[in-house]
Structure 1
Amino acid sequence: MSVITVLVADGVPGHQLTVPSMVFAAATHAFPRVRYEVRVAAPGRAVTTGEPPLSLVTPWGPEALDGADTVLVTGYTAYREPLPPGTARALRACADRGCRMAAIGTGVFALAAAGLLDGRRALTSWPHQREFARRFPRVRARSTGEPTVADGPFHTSAGVFGGLDLCVDLVERDHGTRVAAATARRILLPLHDKVVADREELDREAGDRLSVEETVRWLEAHFHRPLTLADIAGHARISVSGLNRRFRARTGLSPLQYLLEIRLHEAQLLLENTDVPVERIALRTGFGSPANLRHHFQRRTGTAPRTYRTAHRALTVSLTRDEES
């Protein structure tokens, strides 16, 4: 069990509050061997930014830092003010005992104010870059140009989707890219460019990986066709059993599972970024019929394609309008 303590303060952006729980819960539900416990802790009264503002009542106070494996500090509106009494000391105590420390948005000001980032690289959003550099000249500050920055046990992120980038990155560091990819797919946000199989597993199966590499690329180029397992084995010029074994070594999935992942990925991209009707998306992604697309999409995301498109666009508009912290 890995304990993630999310430390929030007054003026936390709503999406930064909810994303950590979404990501770590998705990872826990997708893989039995992955176990995260998320504790949201507030040193006092906290109200979210945005409309409508939400007043937070958390079961945890600063004492939740004591048992944390990872401390994640969200953004907050009072980042220009001194830290609440005892907060800097508590953060330093966590770092001293080897706790992984992370911050989203203006949460980086709290880590820097506690003296934890001196001499280290850290990421801050471009509207706050000058102020951050002026207040903390010993921190090697970077503006938004990459989603996350890691320097030893300290992880920082910026931007509207910075919390998602950071949390998925932490999952990948804990459990590999396969788990991170599956976690990202379970969340109604743009998919991250993650490889499906774990890198260490691929290295151990290098020979098998190379033998089906051409077929993997062929599937990625012809996913829209009505392919069968026999078609795929024929292209690879090996038996079906050999194909299954080598495909799992290369991708972590069976050939048909991998084909389904490609089709769902493409369908999600079309739903997120185009106005192409669902009927045409079903044809363009190899599902053949809207009913078949709806069946697989519902099983994967828990929602219908049209509902997904509406929810994704509403969420994107809401996040981009939220005051960046």
Structure 2
Amino acid sequence: MTAPAPFSPAPNRAPARAPGRPGVLRAAEAVAAILPPTPLLPVEVGGTRIWAKAEMLQPVGAFKIRGAWHRLSAMDEAERARGVVAVSSGNHAQGIAWAARRLGIAATIVMPRDAPAVKLEATRALGAEVVLYERPGEDRDEVAAREVERRGAVLVHAFADPWVIEGQGSAGIEIAAQLGRTPSRIVAPCGGGGLSAGLALACPEARIHPVEPEGWDMVGRSLEAGAIVRAGDDAPKTICDALQPTASAPVNLAVLHDRSEPGVTVSDEEVRAAQRFAFARLRLVVEPGGAAALAAVMAGKVPVDDHSVVMLTGGNCDPQRFAETLAGG
């Protein structure tokens, strides 16, 4: 696909290659070799039966393990010896830490000090070193760049990496196999756009609907503007901690600009309603960011049919806050 000029990265910032469907297929093979498919569960929403992909049942509680495994397992011995640095509020962190431990790679994760304690503790428990930064106040990419330079490590970006994008797309290959056909549409929570881009590559005939928190729709605004739009210092608070990158990246937008249907945002209350619904109807614990796509469907913001799939992308909830959400219903 040809990206509009505003989405073309500067030559010195271009990824090593563009992500593509052949890479997604390789990623699906790599993931299938070590992990079973996550369930694709039927559920009725507003009188229509749709399908929910339960990615919170991954070993790290989120889909991020897919991109992490594809990226790290594709590294050569020289790269592995250097170690990796990643930036994450928690789910990419755990995916990288899990893959790094399995492959014997040193991992350093730059995480916000206000990340949920359950995510910080799980990342450390997997053997990664955690470097904290202030959110807001510090630029996480600058912190990560300092760590990369200091350690001579390889940066594994949470969404702006072709291998990571392809790895996330492996979920789409699983979905098509489980449905026995290409889904009509896939509705996915969206932070930087890595999952949405991967799904677009995996299922080129499906409509892709990225769903973002209100005030954090950087992918939707960037696609509308034809240029990168960054979150302002006055961006509102959101309970969707996993969906708060300050900007998307050219590599993601280049895939999504003519393949997705952006512009869908959800409120915190809509997300909480989706968390309660998933717990009551599917017996699943879904974290706020992981429930954003279901929230959009429940609110009638995305049209669905019997072949539509909603991504439930993570379940790493703070126990007390989850209990409060359930009680609030």
**Greater radius of gyration (CA):** 1
More helix by share: 1
Higher relative contact order (CA 8 A, sep 6+): 2
